[in-house]
Chains A and B, each alone.
Chain A
Amino acid sequence: MPISRDDVKYIAHLARLGLTEQEVSHFQGQLERILGYVDKLKTLDVSRVEPMTHVLDLKNVYRKDSVVPSIDPPAVLKIAPATQGQFYKVPKVIE
Chain B
Amino acid sequence: MNLHVLTAMELRSRLDSGSVKPQDILEDLRGRYESVEKKVMAFARPPSFECREARAAGALKGIPVVIKDNICSRGDLTECCSKILKGFVAPYDATVVEKLKESGASIMGKANMDEFAFGSSCETSCFHPTKNPWNLDCVPGGSSGGSCACVAADEAIAALGSDTGGSIRQPASLCGVVGMKPTYGRVSRYGLVAFASSLDQIGPITKDVRDNAVVLGVIAGHDDHDATSARISVPDYLAETEKDIRGLRVAIPREYFVEGIDPDVRQAMMEVKAKLESLGVRFGEVSLPHTGYAVAVYYIIATAEASSNLARFDGVQYGLRQMGRAEDESALIGMYKETRDKGFGAEAKRRLILGTYVLSSGYYDAYYLRASRVRRLIKEDFDKVFKEYDMVLTPTSPTPAFRIGEKTGDPLSMYLSDIYTISVNLAGVPAISVPCGFARSGLPIGMQLIGRPFGEADLYRAAFHYEQSTPWHKQKPKL
Contact = CB atoms under 8 A, between A and B. Distances in A.
B354 interface: yes
A2 interface: no
Contacts of A78: 91
Nearest to B230: A56
A38 B371 CA distance: 9
B477 interface: no
A40 B341 contact: no
Contacts of A37: 295-296, 299, 412
Interface in A8-61: 8, 11-12, 14-20, 23, 26-27, 30-31, 33-35, 37-38, 40-42, 44, 46, 49-56, 58, 61
B350 A90 contact: no
B373 A88 contact: no
B150 interface: no
A22 to B, nearest CB: 11
Nearest to B372: A51
Nearest to A49: B373
Nearest to A14: B356
A65 to B, nearest CB: 13
Interface residues of B, number: 74
A26 B350 CA distance: 10
B386 interface: no
B331 interface: yes
Contacts of B353: 8, 11-12, 15, 17, 27, 31
Contacts of B307: 15
A91 interface: yes
A17 B88 contact: no
A76 B377 CA distance: 43
Where chain B touches its partner, the secondary structure class is helix
A71 B352 CA distance: 30
B376 A50 contact: yes
Most buried by B among A15, A26, A46: A15
A16 B325 CA distance: 14
B427 interface: yes
B340 interface: yes
Most buried by B among A31, A41, A72: A41
Contacts of B297: 41
Given A27-B353, A31-B353, A40 B316 contact: no
A41 B227 CA distance: 31
B344 interface: yes
B411 interface: yes
A82 interface: yes
B349 to A, nearest CB: 6
Given A27-B350, A55-B428, A34 B411 contact: yes
A14 B333 CA distance: 11
Contact of A17 (B224, B293, B320, B352): B352
A44 B314 contact: no
B350 A50 contact: no
B88 A18 contact: no
B373 A46 contact: yes
B390 interface: no
Most buried by B among A23, A27, A51, A61: A51
Contacts of A53: 198, 372
B332 to A, nearest CB: 5
B61 to A, nearest CB: 26
Interface in A49-95: 49-56, 58, 61, 63, 71-72, 75-76, 78-82, 88, 90-93, 95
A72 B372 CA distance: 39
Contacts of B290: 44
A58 B227 contact: yes
B323 A16 contact: no
B183 to A, nearest CB: 9
Contacts of A19: 341, 349
Enumerate the 8 nearest inter-chain pairs by beta-carbon distance, A residue then B residue, closest first.
A55-B428, A18-B337, A91-B331, A51-B372, A81-B321, A52-B376, A46-B373, A61-B227
Given A16-B340, A44-B290, 12 more contacts: A15-B353, A16-B333, A20-B341, A30-B350, A35-B354, A41-B371, A46-B370, A53-B372, A81-B315, A81-B316, A91-B331, A93-B332
22 contacts: A16-B311, A17-B341, A17-B349, A18-B328, A18-B334, A23-B349, A30-B350, A34-B354, A34-B411, A38-B296, A40-B292, A41-B374, A44-B377, A46-B377, A49-B376, A51-B375, A51-B376, A52-B379, A56-B184, A56-B185, A78-B91, A81-B320
Interface of A: 8, 11-12, 14-20, 23, 26-27, 30-31, 33-35, 37-38, 40-42, 44, 46, 49-56, 58, 61, 63, 71-72, 75-76, 78-82, 88, 90-93, 95
